[in-house]
């Protein structure tokens, strides 16, 4: 993605987040400590905000600075997560609280998948017969009714 597309993308994203939060341009500019014209230029893709300005805007929007960094192309999404975090963080239909909860759940599932198996799981797996071994059925054997009608 080229720099102009990134700048416009981040501006569009900031505007979406601001409108979703029902915050005026003037209010966000005050909360972020930037001028109204400068914030307007960022939203229109005319200015490229620094990481520090993005952090201030994120505080004003009450969203994670990481979401803005990913959107601006400053920060790559975490390796190995297949873009799930970025998709969650940039979805304009989710509230910030929903995004945070979904990211936490996603990360907890990823951590669970990375844990080595416990000793109990290893013991159960070790005691299982190999798939190619013939094993007798566990319960009482019942006669098969495959001979057909008499």
The predicted structure's pLDDT at residue 46? 93
Measure the CA–CA gap between 105 and 102, rounded to whole angstroms: 5
> For residue 43, which of 67, 68, 74 has the smallest C-alpha distance?
68
The predicted structure's pLDDT at residue 24? 95
End-to-end, the C-alpha distance of the chain in Å comes to 75
| 58 has pLDDT over 70 | yes
| 148 has pLDDT over 60 | no
The predicted structure's pLDDT at residue 85? 77
| CA 137 remoteness from chain centre | 45
Measure the CA–CA gap between 65 and 67, rounded to whole angstroms: 5
The predicted-structure confidence for 90-103, as pLDDT tens digits, reads as follows 777 888 788 888 88
Q: For domain 3-114, give the CATH number.
A: 1.10.260.40
The full set of domain ranges for the chain reads 3-114
Model pTM greater than 0.95? no
């Amino acid at each position: 993605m080229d720099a102009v597309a990134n700048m416009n993308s981040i501006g569009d994203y900031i505007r979406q987040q601001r409108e979703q939060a029902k915050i005026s341009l003037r209010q966000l500019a005050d909360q972020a400590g930037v001028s109204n014209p400068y914030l307007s230029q960022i939203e229109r893709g005319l200015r490229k905000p620094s990481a520090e300005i993005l952090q201030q805007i994120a505080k004003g929007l009450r969203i994670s600075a990481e979401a803005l960094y990913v959107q601006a192309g400053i920060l790559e999404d975490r390796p190995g997560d297949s873009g799930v975090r970025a998709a969650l963080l940039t979805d304009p239909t989710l509230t910030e609280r929903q995004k945070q909860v979904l990211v936490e759940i996603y990360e907890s599932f990823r951590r669970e998948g990375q844990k080595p198996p416990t000793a109990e799981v290893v013991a159960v797996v070790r005691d299982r017969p190999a798939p190619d071994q013939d094993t007798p059925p566990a319960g009482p054997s019942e006669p098969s009714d495959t001979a057909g009608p008499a």
